[in-house]
Amino acid sequence: MVNTESQPNSGTNPLAMDVQRVYVFGGLLLIAAGMLFGDIFAMFILHPNNARIGEAMFAASQLVPEGDVDGIMAHFGAIGGFLENRGTKVDAHSHAIHVGYIALLLAILQPWAFLSSGTRKFCAWLFTICAFLLPVSIFMIHYVGLAYSPWAFIGWASVLADLTGGLLALVMFIQLWGLWQGRDGNTSALTDRFGSGGEGASKVLLLGGCLLLACGFLYGVGYAAWLQSGTAVAELDILKPMVEHAAASQQDLLAQDFANYGNYQMYKAINVAAHTHINEMGILLLLLSFVQGLIAYGEAARRRWAMAAAIGAVFLPVGILLEIPYGFVGSVIADTAGFVVIISLLAMLKGLFAQSGSAGGQS
């Protein structure tokens, strides 16, 4: 077992070790790429895809009075494809960001994980490679399908996604083992302040992140309580009248049912997206607060990018919620806020690269 005493400053600088740099740069790239993909997905794919699902469902309902069962099944087969297209993109977006967050946390925790340098390096590269392959393979599931697969229910892209997910879990258990081994051995204080300077920027991000997380949890609790209260419309209360009105060819009532169903889906999607984005932005701000001292900018520039990240993080979920009353305007606010966060993230990444380069030059 090797501890980190041979790695100077590794406890106060998460870029001190090679493996920490692998985690940090991999993590930041994954977060930025995942957020950019989410913005592109929301703008160009999500809304047209939802419209296609609604159209196919309406077309199926029009075949009910004619008793065309094969036609109905064909339309629902198409809906399955649209749902898979949407689901895999949402999953690719969220998994890229989450594994990026985990990579940053593993970078910070490395000095407290008692692992040999070979195991440490192996874990860092295995984690980073799998962390990139996981969202890419999830994205590919819809396009690869069952091509060349020997199994009737799972394609090669799914197999790759499961394999990389399993390897990521393995790395986590190795890290847990290392942290457990080192629980009493390393008595140095675990800190969230790395490098020097950037206290103002760090405080903005820390408080903003904690407040966002508290708001995200309260929002989730409130939404769940509303769903359980019985005042929220249940999906079945729309679907059952829908098939009855379709069978009776009552087109006016059927149109009203589809309008209600569209609203139901919209409320559900927006509420879930707002809840998850508040929490994810909260975590991101907290993570960014840790590394402000390592960014090679002056205090004013650090504070400016921190403020930009915090403002973007607040307005992203606000924009998502504004989609309920204002539709497209809300989407524009959310996407713009998302871009502001991405730009501030890339600016901080550039500052980290500059710091890392200068540290490498000195050594």
At closest approach, how far in Å is the CB of 98 from another protein? Answer: 6
Decide if 235 contacts 264 (C-beta within 8 A).
yes
What letter would DSSP give residue 293?
A: G
Q: Does 140 bind another protein (CB under 8 A)?
A: no
Q: Report the C-alpha gap between 153 and 304 in whole angstroms.
A: 51
At closest approach, how far in Å is the CB of 65 from another protein? Answer: 8
Which residue is it, tokens 């050594």?
363
At closest approach, how far in Å is the CB of 329 from another protein? Answer: 29
Farthest-apart Cα atoms in the chain, separation:
80
Closest to another protein by CB, 36 vs 244, is: 244
Of 35-64, binders to another protein (CB under 8 A) are: 60-61, 63-64
Q: State the number of binding residues for another protein (CB under 8 A).
A: 76
Best CA proximity match to 341, nearest among 290, 280, 291:
280
Taking CA atoms, 20 is separated from 181, 245, 268, in Å, by: 19, 61, 39
What x/- string results for residues 144 through 163 when contact with another protein is judged by CB under 8 A? ---------xx---x--xx-
- Out of 189, 328, 362, 363, the residue judged to bind another protein by CB under 8 A: 189
Q: Does 190 bind another protein (CB under 8 A)?
A: yes
- Out of 23, 112, 139, 258, the residue judged to bind another protein by CB under 8 A: 112
Of 8-37, binders to another protein (CB under 8 A) are: none
Q: Does 72 bind another protein (CB under 8 A)?
A: yes
Q: Does 244 bind another protein (CB under 8 A)?
A: yes
At closest approach, how far in Å is the CB of 44 from another protein? Answer: 24
Of 73-102, binders to another protein (CB under 8 A) are: 73, 76-77, 79-80, 83-84, 94, 98, 101-102
What x/- string results for residues 276 through 305 when contact with another protein is judged by CB under 8 A? x--xx--x--xx-xx---------------
Decide if 89 contacts 82 (C-beta within 8 A).
no
Best CA proximity match to 213, nearest among 105, 292, 131, 287:
287
At closest approach, how far in Å is the CB of 362 from another protein? Answer: 26
Q: Does 1 bind another protein (CB under 8 A)?
A: no
- Out of 103, 123, 168, 274, the residue judged to bind another protein by CB under 8 A: 168
Which range of residues in 17-25, 189-197, 313-321, 347-355 is near another protein by CB under 8 A? 189-197
Closest to another protein by CB, 147 vs 236, is: 236
Torsion 69-71-76-81 (CA) sign: positive
Query: Which residues touch 22 (CB under 8 Å, ≥6 apart)?
Result: 124, 125, 128
Query: Which residues touch 87 (CB under 8 Å, ≥6 apart)?
Result: none
Q: Report the C-alpha gap between 121 and 7 in whole angstroms.
A: 13
Q: Report the C-alpha gap between 284 and 159 in whole angstroms.
A: 30
What letter would DSSP give residue 43?
A: I
Of 215-234, binders to another protein (CB under 8 A) are: 217-218, 220-221, 224, 234
